[in-house]
Chain A
């Protein structure tokens, strides 16, 4: 039981990370990572909206007719985004200004509709909530890390705090965001590749040792075949 939630969490955060593995929600990512604080703000807004939309859609999955499910999901998400926009405008006007047009565009963020379609309409409310949180934080972490790198190179600051005078102007523009995003995906897939390979090697070795324990004579042949 506990294992199931751990799997959902790890899938959302790492193995199916929406930003690096699935490359979803690219518009806000590229538009906002030139500043770490607006990237983190965007991520946290998406966490709230994604979790709420997953909970609502999962709770209503038996009521919504299959034929009109996409329009129904879009109305739910659009309502949540409208609410989030009002709340942010009132409570955190700085963040509201720095997000600009991308706040309204959360409606068409593929991550939210994607999770609704792929997960929330098949699972119960608690699982969907965990999935929403995991994917949302996967998105937030990715955006924040890239935001820190981009802001450090482009403005010489981190979260608005000036650190060095030397700056590379290109990283404050979309061109730099594209480069950072592309290299981040490459690095992430490389690390995942190495990790998966080492895990597979370990599993193979364990399997071979098991075989040898059970069958000391023929174990070697079986192991040789397996490799």
Chain B
């Protein structure tokens, strides 16, 4: 139970992907102009992250390490992620066309999202800072990916809310667009720094 809570807190708050690890900044800055699209992107990233870890973790642990192929992890992981995203796109298109219309445009972008490859690399690396003495297994890996995705969604939604408000403000010409978005993001980071004191 302790590990369970530790993983959730670490993934969502203390080691948030955007504010602490700075993974997945491209969609964070690019797709956060409207709350609805930010939410769509966040959900899509969460789903892909969870499934990607559920596939890459066993492949790495039970196939590549015993065969001594662990140096090929980057190539194998990026291929698994790219095919997963393609497959998900096709499945969603068939099962729920309305969801596809609202989420479809974000899916191809996710292949080149640092957050997805980043979480796959993280869970096969050293996680002792987060889970303590408990040994890493597939359940914890998938749980971490799911909540890291939810943490990503949370920050995306906060950011989009702030940016919608920013539209009503007069900003000097050279600060318009990315610069003001980044300064806004920095304030979100400062707010999230409070959580690093959770022990």
Proximity bits, A58-86, B CB within 8 Å = 1, else 0: 00000000000001001100110110011
Closest residue of B by beta carbon distance from A105 = B114
Check A55 for interface membership: any CB of B closer than 8 A. Answer: no
Is A94 interfacial (CB-CB < 8 Å)? no
Interface flags, B86-124, vs A, CB<8A=1, else 0: 000000000000000000000000011110011001100
Report the bound CA distance from A31 to B182 in whole Å: 14
A60 to B73, CA, bound (A): 25
Nearest chain A CB to B33 CB, angstrom units: 14
CB-defined contacts of A107 to chain B, threshold 8 Å: 74, 78, 117
**Which of A23, A75, A79, A108 lies in contact with B178, CB distance below 8 A?**
A23
In the assembled complex, B51 has its CB within 8 A of some CB on chain A: no
Closest chain-B Cβ to A60's Cβ sits at a distance in Å of 17
**Chain B 166-199: CB-based contact to A (< 8 A → 1; otherwise 0):** 0000000111001111110111011001000000
> Among residues 60 to 81 in chain B, which have CB atoms less than 8 Å away from a CB atom of chain A?
71-75, 78-79
How many A residues, CB 8 Å from partner? 39
With A104-B121, A178-B186, A183-B183 already in contact, the answer to whether A27 and B24 are too (CB < 8 A) is yes
Main secondary structure of the interface of A (DSSP, over half): helix
In Å, the complex CA distance between A74 and B26 comes to: 18
B residues in contact with A74, CB < 8 Å: 78-79, 82
- A105's partner among B75, B118, B173, B190 (CB-CB below 8 A) is B118
**Which chain A residues border B26 with CB–CB below 8 Å?**
24, 26-27, 110
Tell me if B19 is interfacial: C-beta within 8 Å of chain A: yes
Q: Which of A7-15, A125-133, A150-158, A186-194 contacts B (4 or more CB under 8 A)?
A: A186-194
Judged by a CB distance under 8 angstroms, whether A113 is at the interface is: yes
Q: A110-B26, A174-B19 are in contact. Are A82 and B179 (CB under 8 A)?
A: no
Q: Are B21 and A31 in contact (CB under 8 A)?
A: yes
Instruction: Name the B residues within 8 Å of A24 (CB-CB).
Output: 26
Q: Which of A167-204 contact B (CB under 8 A)?
A: 170, 173-179, 181-183, 185-187, 189-190, 193
**Smallest Cβ-Cβ distance to A189: which chain B residue:** B174
B179 lies within 8 A of A108 (CB): no
Interface flags for A10-37 (1: CB within 8 Å of B; 0: not) read 0000000000000110110011000000
Residue A78 contacts which of B22, B75, B122, B180 (CB distance < 8 angstroms)? B75
B190 touches A170 (CB 8 A): yes
**A160 on interface, CB distance cutoff 8 Å:** no
* Bound Cα distance A149, B33 (Å): 29
Contacts of B55 in A (CB 8 A): none
> Are A104 and B74 closer than 8 Å at their CB atoms?
yes
Cβ A186 vs Cβ B186 within 8 A: no
B20 interface contact, C-beta 8 A: yes
A27 lies within 8 A of B22 (CB): yes
Please, how many angstroms separate the alpha-carbon atoms of A177 and B174 in the complex?
Answer: 19
Given known contacts A26-B26, A31-B22, A74-B78, is B112 in contact with A113 (CB within 8 Å)?
yes
How far does the Cβ of B170 sit from chain A's closest Cβ, in whole Å?
A: 15
Judge whether A178 and B75 touch: CB under 8 Å: no
Contact of A101 with B by CB under 8 A: yes
Q: Which residues of A contact B174 (CB under 8 A)?
A: 186-187, 189-190, 193
Interface residues of B (CB under 8 A from A): 19-26, 29, 71-75, 78-79, 82, 111-114, 117-118, 121-122, 125, 173-175, 178-183, 185-187, 189-190, 193
The 9 closest A-B pairs by CB, nearest first: A182-B182, A178-B186, A175-B189, A186-B179, A190-B174, A26-B25, A30-B22, A31-B22, A182-B179
Given pairs A101-B125, A173-B189, 20 additional interface contacts (CB within 8 A): A24-B26, A26-B25, A27-B24, A27-B26, A27-B114, A86-B71, A105-B114, A110-B112, A174-B19, A174-B189, A175-B189, A178-B182, A178-B183, A182-B178, A182-B181, A182-B185, A182-B186, A185-B179, A185-B182, A189-B174
| A to B CB contacts below 8 Å, 7 in the list | A23-B29, A82-B74, A82-B75, A104-B121, A105-B117, A107-B74, A186-B175
